[in-house]
Chain A
Amino acid sequence: MKNIGKGIYVYLALVIFAPLLFQDDYYLSLLVITGIYAIVAIGLSIVMGLTGQISIGQAAFWGIGAYTSAVLTTKYEISPFLALIAAAIIPAVFAFILARAIAGLSGYYLAMATLAFGYIIQILISEWESVTGGATGMIGIPSIDFFGESELGMYYLVWGVVTVVLLFSLNLVESRVGRAFRAIHKSEIAATSMGIDVRKYRLLAFVVGGLFAGLSGGLYAHYVGTLDPQPFGFHESIVFITIVVIGGMTNIWGALVGTFVIEMIRAGLTSLSDTFPALSGDVDTIVYGAILVLIIMFMPEGLVPKIQSMVQSYKHRRSTATVVVQKNKERETAR
Chain B
Amino acid sequence: MTAKFLQVDKITMDFGGVRAVDNVSFSVEPGEIVALIGPNGAGKSTVLNMISGTIPPLQGEIYYQGKPLSKLKGHEYSGAGISRTFQNLQTFDDMTVLENVMVGLHARTKSELFSCGIRSLSARREERSMREQALEWLEFVGLADLKDQLAGNLAYGKLKQMEIARAMVAKPKLLLLDEPAAGLNHSETLEMSKMFQKIKYLGTAILLVEHDMDMIMSIADRIIVLDRGKKIAEGTSSEIQANPKVIAAYIGEEKEEEPIQTSKKSSSQRVKKKTILSVKNIVARYGPVEVLHGIDLHVSEGEIVSLLGSNGAGKTTLLNCICGLHAAKSGTVEFNERDISKTSAEKIVPLGMAHVPERRQIFSTLTVEDNLYLGASHRLSRGSSQQIEKEIKDVYKLFPILEERKNQLGGTLSGGQQQMLAISRALLSRPSLLLLDEPSLGLAPLVGKEILEIVKRIRDEWGTTVLLVEQNARAALAISDRAYVLSTGKVLMHGSAEEIMNHPEIQSAYLGKSQTFVDSPEVQSADQVQA
Instruction: List residues of chain A with CB under 8 Å of any chain B CB.
Output: 168-169, 171-172, 175-180, 182-183, 186-187, 189-198, 204, 208, 250
Q: Judging by beta carbons under 8 Å apart, are B78 and A177 in contact?
A: no
Given B94, B106, B112, B113, which contacts A208 in the complex, CB threshold below 8 Å?
B113
Distance in angstroms between the alpha carbons of A175 and B112 in the assembled complex: 9
* Assembled-state Cα–Cα distance A2/B79 (Å): 31
Chain B residues closer than 8 Å to A172, beta-carbon distance: 113, 116-117
Chain B nearest CB from A181 CB (Å) reads: 10
Pair A177/B118 contact, Cβ less than 8 Å: no
What sequence of 0s and 1s flags, for each residue 56-89 of chain B, a beta carbon within 8 Å of any chain A beta carbon? Answer: 0000000000000000011111110001101000
0/1 string, B429-453, CB within 8 A of A gives 1: 0000000000000000000000000
Q: If A172-B113, A204-B113 touch, does A187 touch B75 (CB 8 Å cutoff)?
A: no
**CB closest residue in chain A, given B127:** A175
Is there an interface contact between A195 and B77, defined as CB atoms closer than 8 Å? Answer: yes
Neighbouring B residues of A208 by C-beta, 8 Å:
113
Does chain A have a CB within 8 A of B52?
Answer: yes
In B96-111, the 8 Å CB interface with A consists of 99, 102-104, 106-109, 111
Inter-chain contact B118/A187, CB cutoff 8 Å: no
Selected contact of B112 from candidates A177, A189, A198, CB within 8 Å: A177
Kindly provide the distance from the CB of B260 to the nearest chain A CB, expressed in whole angstroms: 45
Residue of A nearest to B123 (CB): A175
> Cβ of B75 and Cβ of A186 under 8 Å apart?
no
B274 at the binding interface (Cβ < 8 Å): no
A221 to B83, CA, bound (A): 50
Residues of B within 8 A of A (CB): 52, 54, 73-79, 83-84, 86, 90-95, 99, 102-104, 106-109, 111-113, 116-119, 123, 126-127, 130, 166, 170
Whole-angstrom distance between the alpha carbons of A197 and B103 in the complex? 12
Chain A residue nearest to B84 (CB atoms) is A193
> Are B99 and A198 within 8 A (Cβ)?
no
Complex alpha-carbon distance, A317 and B209, angstroms: 44
A200, closest chain B residue (CB): B75
Given contacts A180-B106, A194-B106, A195-B170, contact A186 B127 (CB under 8 A): no
- B130: chain A residues at CB < 8 Å are 176
In the bound complex, CA of A186 to CA of B95 (Å): 10
Whether B92 pairs with A187 at a CB distance below 8 angstroms is yes
* Chain B residue at smallest Cβ distance from A169: B117
- In the complex, the chain B residue whose C-beta lies closest to that of A197 is B75
Pair B78/A187 contact, Cβ less than 8 Å = no
- Chain B residues contacting A194 (CB-CB under 8 Å) are 78, 103-104, 106-107, 166, 170
How far is B166's CA from A186's CA once the two chains are assembled, in angstroms?
Answer: 15
Alpha-carbon distance A204/B117, docked complex (angstroms): 13
Q: List 24 A-B contacts (CB under 8 A).
A: A169-B117, A171-B117, A175-B116, A175-B117, A176-B109, A176-B126, A176-B130, A177-B113, A179-B99, A179-B103, A179-B106, A180-B106, A182-B94, A182-B95, A186-B95, A187-B91, A190-B86, A192-B74, A193-B52, A193-B83, A193-B84, A194-B106, A195-B107, A195-B108
Q: A186-B92, A194-B166 are in contact. Are A179 and B102 (CB under 8 A)?
A: yes
Chain A residues in 8 Å Cβ range of B75:
192, 195-198
When the two chains form their complex, are residues B106 and A187 in contact, meaning their CB atoms are under 8 A apart?
no
Determine which of A168, A171, A183, A250 lies in contact with B103 in the assembled complex, contact meaning CB atoms within 8 Å: A183
Chain A residues with Cβ under 8 A from B116's Cβ?
A: 171-172, 175-178
Q: Which residues of chain A have C-beta atoms less than 8 A from B54's C-beta? A: 189
CA distance A195 to B52 in the complex (A): 12
Dominant secondary structure at the A interface: helix
Contacts of A187 in B (CB 8 A): 90-92
CB distance from B392 to the nearest CB of A (A): 37
Across-interface contacts of A197 in B (CB, < 8 A): 73, 75
Please measure, in the bound complex, the distance between the C-alpha atom of A208 and the C-alpha atom of B79, giving whole angstroms: 26
- Judging by beta carbons under 8 Å apart, are B92 and A190 in contact? yes
B118 contacts A193, C-beta separation under 8 Å: no
Contacts of A177 in B (CB 8 A): 111-113, 116-117
User: Shortest 3 CB-CB distances between A and B: which pairs?
Assistant: A195-B107, A195-B78, A190-B90
A168 contacts across to B, CB distance below 8 A: 117-118
* Most-contacted residue by chain B among A176, A191, A196, A204 (CB, 10 A): A176
Cβ–Cβ < 8 Å partners of A196 in chain B: 75, 103, 106
Q: In the complex, which residues of chain B have a beta carbon less than 8 angstroms from the beta carbon of A198?
A: 75
Within the assembled complex, what's the spacing in Å between the Cα atoms of A192 and B119?
25
Q: Determine the distance from Cα of A208 to Cα of B116 in the docked complex, in whole angstroms.
A: 13
Expressed in whole angstroms, the Cα–Cα distance for A49 and B238 within the complex equals 52
Q: How far is the CB of B240 from the nearest CB of chain A, in Å?
A: 29
B52 surroundings in chain A (CB, below 8 A): 193
The smallest C-beta distance from B106 to any residue of chain A, in angstroms, reads: 5
Q: Please give, as numbers and ranges, the residues of chain A lying within 8 Å of B93 by CB-CB distance.
A: 186
In the bound complex, how far is the Cα of B49 from the Cα of A192, in angstroms?
13
Which residues of B have CB within 8 Å of A195? 75-79, 106-108, 170
Which residues of A have CB within 8 Å of B111? Answer: 175-177
Q: Which B residues are in CB contact (< 8 Å) with A191?
A: 103
In the bound complex, CA of A204 to CA of B166 (Å): 24
Nearest-Cβ distance from residue A3 to partner chain B, whole angstroms: 9
In chain A, what residue has the closest Cβ to B109?
A176
Across the interface, A186 reaches (CB within 8 A) one of B77, B94, B107, B126, namely B94
A63 to B92, CA, bound (A): 35
Contact of A180 with B83 in the complex, beta carbons under 8 Å: no
CB-CB < 8 A to B109: which residues of A?
A: 176
Give every chain B residue within 8 A of A183 (Cβ-Cβ): 92, 95, 103, 106
Among B84, B106, B112, B130: residue with most chain A CB under 10 A = B106
A16 to B213, CA, bound (A): 66
Of B77, B91, B92, B113, which is within 8 A of A193 by CB? B77
Assembled-state Cα–Cα distance A187/B86 (Å):
11
* Bound Cα distance A176, B107 (Å): 10
Instruction: Tell me, in angstroms, the Cα distance from A180 to B74 when the chains sit together.
Output: 15
Q: Which residue of B lies closest to A172 (CB)?
A: B117
A-chain residues with CB within 8 Å of residue B77 when the two chains form the complex: 193, 195
Instruction: Output the nearest chain A residue to B83 by Cβ-Cβ distance.
Output: A193
Closest beta carbon of chain B to A261's beta carbon, Å: 23
* Separation of A195 and B171 alpha carbons in the complex (Å): 13
A168 to B114, CA, bound (A): 9
